[in-house]
Structure formats: C-alpha cells, structure tokens
Amino acid sequence: MRVLVTGGAGFIGSHLAETLLRRGDEVRVVDNFATGRRENVLDLDGVEILEGDLRSYERAHAAVRDCEIVFHQAALGSVPRSVQDPLTTNETNVTGTLNVLLAARDAGVRRVVFASSSSIYGRNTELPKREAMRPLPMSPYAVSKLAGETYCQAFSSVFGLETVALRYFNVFGPRQDPTSQYAAVIPKFITAMAAGERPVIFGDGDQSRDFTFIDNVVEANLLAAETANGVGETFNVAVGERATLNETVSILSDLLGVRVAADHRPERPGDVKHSLADISRGRELLGYEPKVGFREGLERTIPFFAG
C-alpha cells in the first residue's frame, strides 16, 4: 500500500514512517523542515522524501498523488508558539489541513488520518476527557486543531472522503527536540536533569498530564487507517492515566539517579491545568489498547537524551 506521511521528518511522523516501512508499505513523506529534522528520515531506506509546504495546494496535491492513505501529522505545534504568533499557526494548521483534504479528495485518496490534540478540551474541567464533551479551546493552537477536526468531518459527510481524527495526549519519546523553546516537557526535563540542572516547571507543578509514549500513538494511527467503524469519528489517544509534573520529576530522579529541585516559574497563558483521557471509545471501535505505560516509556526515552 502506498501511503503519505505529512510532517514525516518530525517526531511523530518519522516514527510512523519507520513503522510503515517496516511492515512493507511504500512510504512517501512531505515536510518543509521548519521543525522536522532531516536526520529523522535520511536513514529510512526506501522512503520517498518530498520537501514542500502544505500551505500550497499544488504542493499538497503533488504529495498525495497515487497514495491510498494519508497520515496528516504536519502542524506547527506548541501552545506558547501559537499565543505568540496566531496567524502562522492558523495558516499552517488550518489552511494546510484544508489543502491536504482538498488534494486528497481530488486525487482519489481513500482515507485521511488526522493528528488532532487534547488541547481542544481546554477550559472544560471535567475529567476524564471524553470525545463527546464540548470543546473549549484556550489557545490558537487548540482552535486550529479543532478546525482541522471539523473540516475532516465535513469532508467525510459532504465529499465521502474517509477521515479519522486522533486527539493526542502529551506524546513523548525519542527524537523530540529538547533544544527548542517550545519543546515538550519530557525531553526538556531529561536533558536538564541528566546535566545536573534544575528542570523548569511553569506553575506549581501540580498540573497533570496523560503522558503517552510514541509507540502507542503509532499503533493508534495504524488502527485508524484500517477501521471500518470509526470513519468520520474522533478518538482520544492516550494511556488513561495521569501524572503531575512534580511526580514526573520524582520518577525521572529515580531513573536517572539524580536529585535536583525543580525551578518553578510563572504559569503560561493557554496552558491546561489537568488532562486525563477516557480511551474506552478507541478500545471499542478501533481496538486500541496502549501497550507502553508512563514509567516504561520514560525508561525507553532516557537513553536517547541522556546517553
């Protein structure tokens, strides 16, 4: 099967492309390398690499040509980045997604699997987060992901393009970039603590997250590409457990064998206080079952960042 992974040089996209290649698919990736890394895909023997920006419909159409499945991972991530620059986030995440959907429709692609985000739940404080809950996004990034989901649903109902949206909950693992000012918390914590530095926490550290190891996310994407029951639907992708940032620092201290106190700084605008997923819908309709828990995921991730 020929598949396209947009954002295929990024953290999640490159893991997905690697798994697809390993199972025997013909894999094309498209990336503008704004945040994706060339080294993430250069060693993937057999992958076809296209450089291009999906804000161009023409580039999107060239990328999806002759593909049966599109895994749309490309996005400008980060809540703080979207607060600083809402326009670029919108152009990349909303216009880019619309171009991918239009190109997929026009090229006869069978299915698009869309990478959404748990951030769309936003100000809705009810736990756990269920897909039927009212979205209350708090940041431009969250708004852009909700717009992408809604476009997917519209293209399924109006044009008959099969779509499945996956709401990722705080994905972590090897290949994340710890050096970016917008980097996810896990790689930042590991690199800082391994160097004997204090990990930075914005707020009191009692905020909690449903941290999800990358292998679980890849598995969810493969299931979403094959499901007969979830077309036009949205699913949480998580573990169904949560840990506070303070607890995360404590676990990493044990695993790394270091003792450093966190550096607490003021809270950031747009950040959600607590996040925990109900993954029962994915279990029922996709057959999704997370195979890697939080602590095991940290154990697998540490060697990549700490040597």
| pLDDT tens-digit series, residues 122-160 | 999 999 999 999 999 999 999 999 999 999 999 999 999
Question: 210-224: per-residue pLDDT in tens?
Answer: 999 999 999 999 999
Query: Residue 240 in contact with residue 278, Cβ under 8 Å?
Result: yes
Query: SS3 of 6, please?
Result: strand
From CA 142, how far away is CA 164, in angstroms rounded? 18
From CA 13, how far away is CA 9, in angstroms rounded? 6
pLDDT at 293: 97
Percentage of residues in the chain with pLDDT exceeding 70? 98
Question: 112-126: per-residue pLDDT in tens?
Answer: 999 999 999 999 999
Is 141 one of the annotated active-site residues of the chain?
yes
Query: Residue 120 in contact with residue 149, Cβ under 8 Å?
Result: yes
Residue 78 has pLDDT above 90, yes or no: no
| HSE-up of residue 78 (Cα within 13 Å, Cβ side) | 19
pLDDT at 178: 80
Confidence of residue 268 (pLDDT cuts 50, 70, 90): confident
Q: Which two tokens stand for residue 272?
A: 């959600």
Residue 182 has pLDDT above 80, yes or no: no
Query: Residue 99 in contact with residue 255, Cβ under 8 Å?
Result: no
Catalytic: which of 57, 121, 141, 288?
141
pLDDT at 181: 62
Q: Which residues pair with 27 in a beta bridge?
A: 3
Amino acid at 283: R
Query: SS3 of 201, please?
Result: strand
Query: Residue 82 in contact with residue 139, Cβ under 8 Å?
Result: yes
Least Cα distance to 107 among 155, 65, 143 occurs for: 65
| HSE-up of residue 11 (Cα within 13 Å, Cβ side) | 24
Residue 18 has pLDDT above 90, yes or no: yes
Fold of 2-169+214-240+275-291: Rossmann fold (3.40.50)
Question: 88-114: per-residue pLDDT in tens?
Answer: 999 999 999 999 999 999 999 999 999
Residue extents of the structural domains in the chain: 2-169+214-240+275-291
